[in-house]
């Protein structure tokens, strides 16, 4: 969980950086250039296969862990401590992860899949900038994106710290740094992602 999670966190940074190019407000010129590089570079495309593999592994490991851990307490408590002993998001990683997965299925079928399909069938890359512009005119799509990114944020608040703790780095010296960085990351990255559909919806971008 930890290693695949850290890989996916690294991916988020790259994805966020590339897509934030739209905020140059240059009609998508810089974004299209970056997307073209990411979509055609041999090395990136190879890592993409690894990314899909790690994503799948993360989902399978997570669900297996969730179901195994659930089975360790057949007779459950009548009264639960709830938030008195632990934050809700740390206990809801499987739920948050499932929400993110459902969001990802929608997200990938909107942009990634049609673009790759077009490339494979020899029709070249799609104009992702204008696809975004068009998709994010619909209010419910923007709503689902905001919800998906909020789920991602809560998932990261626990996931970021937890990944380092599993690797044995949650010592008194690093714990504060890891937690603070994790919380900052979990707020900033999803917020930048949320800003994208919102910016298109509000017609802030040309």
Partner 1 sequence: MQHYNMNLTLKVWKQKNGKTKGGFETYPVRNVSSEMSFLEMFDVLNEQLVSEGKEPIAFDHDCREGICGMCSMVINGRAHGPWSQNTTCQLHMRAYEDGDTITVEPWRADAFPVIKDLVVDRTGFDRIIQAGGFISVNTGNAQDANALPIDKQKADESFAAASCIGCGACVAACPNASAMLFVSAKVSHLALLPQGEPERMTRAFNMVNQMDTEGFGSCTNIGACEAECPKGISLENIARLNREYIGSMLSGSKVEGMA
Report the helix count and the strand count for the chain, using DSSP H and E: 9, 0
Q: Does 75 bind partner 1 (CB under 8 A)?
A: yes
Smallest separation (angstroms) from partner 1 to the CB of 167: 7
Smallest separation (angstroms) from partner 1 to the CB of 85: 4
Of these, 81, 120, 139, 206, which contacts partner 1 (CB under 8 A)? 81
Q: Does 154 bind partner 1 (CB under 8 A)?
A: no
How many binding residues for partner 1 (CB under 8 A)? 35
The alpha carbon torsion through 162, 168, 171, 175 (nearest 10 deg) reads -20
Q: Does 172 bind partner 1 (CB under 8 A)?
A: yes
**Strands (DSSP E) found in the chain:** none
Report the half-sphere exposure of 45 (CA within 13 A, side-chain side): 9
Q: Does 67 bind partner 1 (CB under 8 A)?
A: no
Q: Does 176 bind partner 1 (CB under 8 A)?
A: no
Of these, 156, 158, 190, 197, which contacts partner 1 (CB under 8 A)? 158
Q: Does 65 bind partner 1 (CB under 8 A)?
A: yes
Smallest separation (angstroms) from partner 1 to the CB of 156: 14
Indicate the residue among 6 and 141 with the shorter CB distance to partner 1: 6
Of these, 46, 171, 180, 203, which contacts partner 1 (CB under 8 A)? 171
Please state, in angstroms and as integers, the Cα–Cα distance from residue 18 to each residue in 36, 37, 163, 168, following that order. 11, 10, 25, 32
| Separation between Cα atoms, residue 160 and residue 8, nearest integer Å | 10
- Going by the DSSP 8-state scheme, the letter that residue 112 receives in this structure is I
Q: Does 4 bind partner 1 (CB under 8 A)?
A: no
* SS3 assignment, position 124: coil
């Amino acid at each position: 969980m930890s290693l695949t999670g850290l890989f996916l966190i690294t991916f988020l940074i790259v994805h966020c950086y590339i897509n934030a190019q739209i905020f140059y407000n240059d009609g998508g010129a810089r974004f299209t250039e970056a997307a073209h590089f990411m979509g055609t570079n041999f090395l990136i495309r190879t890592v993409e296969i690894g990314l899909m593999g790690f994503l799948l592994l993360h989902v399978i490991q997570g669900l297996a862990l969730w179901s195994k851990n659930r089975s360790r307490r057949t007779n459950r408590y009548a009264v639960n401590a709830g938030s008195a002993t632990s934050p809700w998001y740390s206990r809801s990683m499987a739920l948050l992860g499932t929400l993110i997965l459902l969001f990802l299925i929608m997200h990938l079928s909107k942009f990634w899949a049609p673009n790759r399909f077009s490339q494979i069938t020899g029709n070249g890359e799609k104009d992702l900038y204008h696809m975004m512009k068009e998709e994010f005119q619909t209010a419910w799509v923007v709503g689902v994106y905001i919800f998906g990114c909020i789920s991602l944020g809560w998932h990261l608040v626990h996931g970021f710290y937890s990944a380092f703790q599993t690797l044995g780095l949650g010592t008194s010296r690093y714990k504060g740094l890891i937690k603070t960085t994790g919380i900052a990351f979990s707020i900033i990255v999803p917020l930048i992602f949320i800003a994208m559909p919102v910016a298109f919806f509000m017609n802030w971008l040309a």
